[in-house]
Chain A
Amino acid sequence: NAGVTQTPKFRILKIGQSMTLQCTQDMNHNYMYWYRQDPGMGLKLIYYSVGAGITDKGEVPNGYNVSRSTTEDFPLRLELAAPSQTSVYFCASSSGSWDGYTFGSGTRLTVV
């Protein structure tokens, strides 16, 4: 049981480039989330999804987009990368409101 899988683990982008961070879960969870973690700032919610075809903005959505075409996959798209998007990105999933979250191992992104 792989849980939540994120790729890539590391990436360096130039300002203005675009990329997609991949997230896949094999637990048949309906809820999926993207967080970013900046040093000393805690984790902030970027986007979330409560099921296939349904997505919504979190606390810090600007500069990002998501899609949820299947239950398993929840990719995060960065358009026109900026240095402020340098961060560690975590994907998570949950089966319901009363259940805990399972996190992926993260993607460390640097924008130069």
Chain B
Amino acid sequence: KQEVTQIPAALSVPEGENLVLNCSFTDSAIYNLQWFRQDPGKGLTSLLLIQSSQREQTSGRLNASLDKSSGRSTLYIAASQPGDSATYLCAVRDQTGANNLFFGTGTRLTVIP
């Protein structure tokens, strides 16, 4: 069964810093990997979707990389802002079984003004 791990569980940085969130998964047979943002008490907002054939995707200050063979992805956030404070979830879409999405437990990010 696919296992997704996110490190660190929580991260606090001063405003303006660049930061990296890590995600690892155990089975490299995936269709894609998706990064989500979740604000407290709210739903999941999709940030970036990387297909298994891609190495990275960018959206604004966000850049996500994927190394499928080693089972790793990183989410890079440039010039962090207090509005970036949220929980970031990594999820992989498995090619085995029912092709479902498996989630990590998230990294809770706090950007200090």
Q: Report if A and B associate in a common complex.
A: yes
Is B106 a contact of A42 with CB atoms below 8 Å? yes
A-B contact count (CB 8 A): 54
Q: How far is B107's CA from A112's CA once the two chains are assembled, in angstroms?
A: 30
Chain A residues with a Cβ under 8 A of chain B? 33, 35, 40-43, 45, 48, 50, 56, 58, 90, 92, 97-106, 108
**Chain B interface SS verdict (over half):** strand
Known A90-B43, A106-B43; contact A43-B98, beta-carbon cutoff 8 A:
no
Known A56-B98, A98-B32; contact A40-B43, beta-carbon cutoff 8 A:
no
Look across to chain A and name the residue whose beta carbon is closest to the beta carbon of B34. A100
**Chain A interface SS verdict (over half):** strand
If A42-B103, A42-B104, A100-B32 are given as contacts, then 16 extra A-B residue pairs at C-beta distance below 8 Å, sorted by A number, are A42-B4, A42-B89, A42-B106, A43-B89, A45-B101, A58-B100, A90-B43, A97-B31, A97-B95, A100-B34, A100-B49, A101-B34, A103-B43, A103-B44, A105-B43, A106-B42
